[in-house]
Structure 1
Amino acid sequence: MAFIGRNILLRQSKTIFRTFSSSMQLKSSSADTNFQTAKERLNTLGIQPENNTKLKMYALFKQATVGKNKTDKPEASNFAGQYKWSAWTELGDMTKDEAKQAYVDLVTDLEKAEVANKNSTNSNSQQELESSAKSYGSDGLLVNTENKIMTVTLNRPKRYNALTFDMYEGIIKILSDAANDDSVSIVTFTGTGKYFCSGNDLKNFSGITPANLKQKCLDTAAMLQRYAAAFIDFPKPLIAAVNGPAIGISVTQLGLFDAVYASDEATLQTPFTKIGQSPELCSTYIFPKIMGHSKACSMLLFNETCTALEAERLNLVTKVFPNASFRNDVRKEVERISQFPMKSLIYSKQLTRGCEREMLHKVNKAECERIAERWSSDDCMKAVMGFLAKS
């Protein structure tokens, strides 16, 4: 009887094991199918994922197809390779099936974001603005001139209006043309969507190798110096309409504007030292001058985020408007200013700013020389990697 009982238990155990194995195979097969479908769906998306999202997708794909990262870490000068390696390594012991499901979920989130973006876009006004911006050679800039007011809109909402090299060059040309255009009396900068600008696009630093690192840094710093000079030398009123969060260079350049209007939901952040870099756009001279040394240091050195109301008290923001009526309130302010005689505006700005133009150019040159050194330094590379890993 005991022998018969053992045989029955053995047959039951085998049945349970086969059932469990079959169930696991079905789950694995389902994960494979969903994973393959997600890859196909990704190719149909019109939305451009953020750099951090791309890194996450790369890491999940590698984890799903290869498994845990056991490769050697790339050289410090290989920015792209280090970003990918770190993102993959962060996944640790995540199983292949877990990585496949996470990949599927990420693609689903991107699809939802694309639908939401399409629903919130006013296609008619967007097409009108885009047609006037094409002459400046950048898809990220919309330029519209009406009633002597030129409005430059940073138009990359999917990437939080991050600035590309093409956009830098486009803005330099826009300011050069507007300076000599009698039909323009004021130039206003703003952003599409929830953000004003998230600073530099990380794509600006792709394609860097140990062989070209130093020259790339020098070339980029030279471009940045020309960009700042375009603001320093612009003779007409410059107005910033900060519609949402501003980060990095989009904050430091505010000191070169003649008026800064901000939404009460806007925040300002300059996280330079956190990633081993240094400030630019003459902020190291202008910020201490208008807000005092210690307050300037809290932003430029210690990476403290500043609200719009705080920035108004620090004299960096001229006026704060409710977010619900922000664009309409700014339009009324700018239209009021545009009615003043153009030559009076130009001569008055020349008197108030002209006496320090030479100093601003000197500061700009020194800042860009330091930036070139920072970008090529080991501690900057390590800080950037650490920042991205935490993000």
Structure 2
Amino acid sequence: MAARMLLSRVKLDAVFPRLMATKADFEKAKSQLLRLTKEPTNEEKLRIYALFKQSTEGHCTTPKPSAFNFVNKVKWEAWNQLGDLTQDDAQEQYIKMVDKLNATETETVPSPELHVQETDYETLVLTKQNNMTTIRLNRPSRKNAINVQMYHDIMRALGEAKDDDSTLVVFTGTGDYYCSGNDLENFNIPLDHMETVAQESSLLLKKFVATFIDFPKPLVGMINGPAVGISVTILGLFDLVYAADSATFHTPFTKLGQSPEGCSSYTFPKIMGIPKASELLLFNKKISAREAYDLNLVTEVFPTNTFEREAWHRLQNYATLPNKALHLSRQLLHQLKRETLHKTNEAECQLLKQMWLSPECASAIATFFQRKTSKL
């Protein structure tokens, strides 16, 4: 009997240190997650959230959120998909995932061609060199998706560029993507705040697009990778658009129960004709850089491996043109259509507000999120 009790005590002593170590590792992982400087992707964040909930509360038993509460619904589904995974196993997976993120984290390094200024922009890198102001979208872990903060940062950067000595203003992206469109976090809307958020979002979008309409200097897009949604439609307001041949252009509005914005309902038919514009804006066709060039949406396409060198060299030559002559000539080209663009912007934002409040939009976005989480 004494021997059996001793054996039992030995087994407990062998297990107990491992459990204590696991708990310590879990607490350490929680701290490491907060210290990450590179933001995890949407898929990673959902997985981390689900594993944390499973580790601390067990399998999902809470009611499923409303279809209008998009983000909470997606988070609930990610947690629910873990099923009966034990808390210990969930904790172990959580620790491994955070360790992996911590081990692979690297700082974002801007293109060597540009001298980076220290700025207080949260989502951008602002560069001023050789008569050019460059606005670099800088959320590579989110594929440079535009959140509310980035909308405000871009407007502020354009306001600063409007008054500086630059000849050109250039937009490009950090990493492999130019911009993946709106961040899904923008759709985290509680049901009882839908109308308020839709109104505020409509006004923000209207102000954002108006900033481009009224901007007095030449705008250049350096499309270094895939572009989605408003990052595509706004290109109709640019003066030059250079693209790497790996870039793609996609405006999946109707697929998400929404409608065009960025004045694309006016600019795209003018640029490429109604049938081709309809393929993009109504039927969600994704096109390559070469196809975008054929449709006059892109000025020139460069090989991806020489894109940075060739395109920047071209722009540096343009930036030496006489400043006043270039700006006044540019304004002459745009002045007659400015009123039409503002009216188009107003109409698009009003329609979008209606669409955001519709059950069709809620269902389409929920389906999109469902597909995203099913790939986790």
Q: Are 1:63 and 2:63 counterparts?
A: no
Q: Are 1:340 and 2:305 counterparts?
A: no
Per-residue CA deviations over 1:255-297 (Å, capped at 9, x if unaligned) read 1100000111112222222222222101112112222323222
| Equivalent position SS for 1:196 | coil
Q: Are 1:48 and 2:35 counterparts?
A: no
Partner of 1:81: 72
- What is the rounded CA distance, in whole Å, between the counterparts of 1:249 and 1:243 in structure 2? 16
- What is the rounded CA distance, in whole Å, between the counterparts of 2:110 and 2:174 in structure 1? 11
Cα 1:152/1:49, change in 2 over 3 Å: same
- Partner residue of 1:373 out of 348, 354, 361: 354
- Partner residue of 2:169 out of 187, 193, 207: 187
**Root-mean-square deviation (CA), in Å?**
3.0
Partner of 1:163: 146
Q: Are 1:213 and 2:194 counterparts?
A: yes
| Equivalent position SS for 1:129 | coil
TM-score (normalised: structure 2): 0.85
- Partner residue of 2:116 out of 125, 129, 134: 129
| Equivalent position SS for 1:315 | coil
Letter in 1 for 2:39: Q
Shift of 1:379: 2.3
Q: Are 1:283 and 2:264 counterparts?
A: yes
2:169–2:218 CA contact under 8 A, matched in 1:
yes
When structure 1 is superposed on structure 2, of 100-109 and 212-221 the one drifting more is 100-109
When structure 1 is superposed on structure 2, of 34-43 and 190-199 the one drifting more is 34-43
Partner of 2:3: none
1:275–1:380 CA contact under 8 A, matched in 2:
yes
1:164–1:201 CA contact under 8 A, matched in 2:
yes
Cα 1:159/1:68, change in 2 over 3 Å: same
- Partner residue of 1:108 out of 96, 99, 114: 99
Runs of 5+ unmatched residues, structure 2? 1-7
Partner of 1:363: 344
| Equivalent position SS for 1:153 | strand
Larger Rg: 1
Cα 1:240/1:108, change in 2 over 3 Å: same
1:228–1:281 CA contact under 8 A, matched in 2:
yes
| Equivalent position SS for 1:277 | coil
Q: Matches of residues 240-319 of structure 1 in structure 2 within 5 Å?
A: 240-319=221-300
When structure 1 is superposed on structure 2, of 333-342 and 220-229 the one drifting more is 333-342
Shift of 1:40: 4.7
Cα 1:222/1:328, change in 2 over 3 Å: same
Partner of 1:172: 155
2:216–2:330 CA contact under 8 A, matched in 1:
yes
Q: Are 1:153 and 2:136 counterparts?
A: yes
- What is the rounded CA distance, in whole Å, between the counterparts of 1:130 and 1:276 in structure 2? 40
TM-score (normalised: structure 1): 0.82
Letter in 2 for 1:152: I
- What is the rounded CA distance, in whole Å, between the counterparts of 1:351 and 1:263 in structure 2? 30
Runs of 5+ unmatched residues, structure 1? 1-17
- What is the rounded CA distance, in whole Å, between the counterparts of 1:172 and 1:248 in structure 2? 18
